[in-house]
Amino acid sequence: MIALLIRFVKTPVRLHWSGRASHDLHNWHCQIILGAIIIRGQKDVPRWFRLTMVGLAIMIAACLVVGAGAMVYPIAYSDRVYPGVSVHDVDVGRLTVEEATVVLIESLPDSPLQGIGLRAGEHFWRLSWADTGRAYDYAGTAIAAYQVAHGDRWYEQILPAWRVRLQGHSVEPFITPADPERVRAALERAATLISVPPTDAQLRIGPAGAAPAPGQPGEALDVEASTTRVLRALANSAPEVELVLTAVPPRLSEPEPALTLARSLLARPFSLVTDDPLTGYHAEFQASPERVATWLRAVPEYAPQGARMVLEAEEAAVRAWLLEVAPQLEPERLLDVAHTVTRTMAALTAGEHQAEGRIRHPQGTHVVEPGDTFFDIAYRYGFPQWRLEEANPDVDPEALAIGMELVIPSMDVLFPEPLVSGKHIEISLPEQRLRAYEDGQLVYDFACSSGISTTPTIAGQFQVLFKEPSAYASRWNLEMPYFMAVYQEGPEFFNGMHELPITASGRRLWAGVLGWPASYGCIILNVGDAEALYDWAPVGTLVRITGVAPGTPVYEEQDAE
């Protein structure tokens, strides 16, 4: 029988690595004391037997030592990372969690140096982890490294721990995810530099014509979609990511309708028509397309429902041209530049090649002659007397002196309404006839009665001022059917044209004398004729009254001559 005495001895061992402080570990050495070989029952033992026994004892001792060391290994690294564990090629084996954390902070790249490439069309830049809130979790990574091969029970760690030591084990570092809000904020800042605003359509108008420039789309960074892409790329550790760009259409793609309007206006000259039926004057003045081009400008209009390009006229340029035209009118008429500017600009905006000029007439003068009275002077120039008094407020009508100069009002005071084009009424006092014309053609020819000698109808040029189906003359207590005012006899009284008047008792006046002066100043028409004229003549129709009625003193004097 072989007697073996085995004794385990604990001896200290000091270890050194990576230039760091040394650490004391304890190895268990197995001391084997071979006892005497006692061969009971035999005095001599063969040599081969003794050698075999010694070898067997050594093998047993070696197995015991190895087994004891393997079992002691997890205990030795119970508070340290097992050798062979690394993080991104950083060896953290044999370190405590705190020591491993320090080593990782020193060895792994700084967050500001880490980042991802962002590409948006031709733009490229890097976004650092620091800008996104993404960073290494050093403590968490150190804990993960420590947990490699560390199980709940020490004996369960033996094989994994030795496998790690022999084969090595790499741990991916823990990373704090990027903050979506910080990523979004970074992209919003970049969007202002990346985005290309769209260009709206333009229209330049010059002597060479209208030159359009269609609108061009722009680009904008889709922040929400790009934020999602960046977060996904960071999570997958992608080196770069393509951001999402969206096309931004222009609000105004084409310069319409201004372009079509401008081309139409510049196709031929623009005409200003000056037609003055009161003096029989007619003239046209033209501006060349090159001159018209200097008046026009294209202006975009934006509204919630859309945008468009409109054409406007420069008032100052139009006015300058009209001021050039104004002196070319003859002295007895004036061009109302302010009113004509408005008409011209409206015509241009509407795409018309013609506008009508507004003609005004200057005041006149009269030198008092022997026998002149205020009534005679006013009658001679075709005005009610009160109009002459209004124009000469400092003159006493009862104290006229020969040689005194009076102001004759402008005939414009008799025409507050725009004249109707194409229609006019002619009243001949000598003939006591009323004729209506449209575009030069006779429409009506009626017998009429004008004012008697004490209340004569004034000869002159007037217009239909207003119309009333049935007017009442309080001065004479008469109803005047189909009344059309022609001139203001007094501040609150109008003379005009109407049907045979009706008394309070319902009787028609002057039916038997129609065709002779009979009224108090109005033009009297037969039943039916007045209604027809009333329906035909709108307000503003020119009314021209000529001659002297039979029976008036002036008429008799002229006839005697």
Is 70 exceeded by the pLDDT of residue 156?
Answer: no
Cα dihedral 81, 86, 92, 96 sign: negative
Taking residues 148-177, what's their average pLDDT?
Answer: 81
Higher pLDDT, 8 or 510: 510
pLDDT score at 24: 42
pTM: predicted TM-score of the whole model, two decimal places = 0.60
pLDDT score at 112: 67
Higher pLDDT, 294 or 31: 294
Grade residue 27 by pLDDT with cuts at 50, 70 and 90.
Answer: very low
Give the CATH number of domain 364-413; options: 3.40.50.2300, 3.10.350.10, 3.40.50.300, 3.30.465.10. 3.10.350.10
* Calculated CA dihedral for residues 273, 274, 276, 281, nearest 10 degrees: -100
* Residue 546, amino acid: T
pLDDT score at 73: 73
CB atoms within 10 A of CB 157: 20
Residue 355 contacts residue 273 (beta carbons within 8 Å):
yes
Distance from C-alpha of 325 to C-alpha of 320, rounded to nearest angstrom: 9
Is 70 exceeded by the pLDDT of residue 28?
Answer: no
Grade residue 511 by pLDDT with cuts at 50, 70 and 90.
Answer: confident
Higher pLDDT, 20 or 326: 326
pLDDT score at 184: 94
Q: pLDDT tens-digit profile of 230-268?
A: 999 988 989 999 999 999 999 999 999 999 999 999 999
Residue 470 contacts residue 480 (beta carbons within 8 Å):
yes
Is 60 exceeded by the pLDDT of residue 9?
Answer: no
pLDDT score at 89: 86
**Residues facing 11 on adjacent strands:** 27
Distance from C-alpha of 482 to C-alpha of 468, rounded to nearest angstrom: 6
**If you ran DSSP here, which 8-state letter would residue 550 be given?**
T
List the chain domain ranges.
2-76, 258-355, 364-413, 423-560
Mean pLDDT of the chain: 85
| Contact partners, residue 417, CB within 8 Å, separation at least 6 | 463, 464, 465, 539, 540
Q: pLDDT tens-digit profile of 332-352?
A: 899 999 999 999 999 998 899
**DSSP letter for each residue of 106-153:** HHSPPGGG-EEEEEETTEEEEEEHHHHT-EE-HHHHHHHHHHTT--SS
pLDDT score at 474: 85
Q: pLDDT tens-digit profile of 442-491?
A: 999 999 999 998 899 999 999 999 999 999 988 889 999 999 999 998 87
pLDDT score at 59: 75
CATH 2.40.50.180 fits 423-560, yes or no: no
pLDDT score at 131: 87
pLDDT score at 411: 94
Grade residue 145 by pLDDT with cuts at 50, 70 and 90.
Answer: confident
Is 60 exceeded by the pLDDT of residue 46?
Answer: yes
Q: pLDDT tens-digit profile of 62-110?
A: 655 555 555 667 777 888 888 988 998 899 888 998 998 899 888 888 7
pLDDT score at 16: 37
pLDDT score at 529: 97
Taking residues 24-41, what's their average pLDDT?
Answer: 41
Q: pLDDT tens-digit profile of 385-415?
A: 999 999 999 999 999 999 999 999 999 999 9
pLDDT score at 492: 80
Distance from C-alpha of 448 to C-alpha of 518, rounded to nearest angstrom: 9
CB atoms within 10 A of CB 172: 10
How large is the greatest C-alpha to C-alpha distance in the chain, in angstroms?
201
Q: 258-355 — its CATH code?
A: 3.10.20.800
Taking residues 202-213, what's their average pLDDT?
Answer: 93
**Residues facing 499 on adjacent strands:** 525
Q: pLDDT tens-digit profile of 258-302?
A: 999 999 999 999 999 999 999 989 999 999 999 999 999 999 999
Evaluate whether 364-413 and 423-560 have a shared fold: no
Residue 499 contacts residue 535 (beta carbons within 8 Å):
no
CB-based burial label for 72 (10 Å; 0-12, 13-18, 19+)? middle
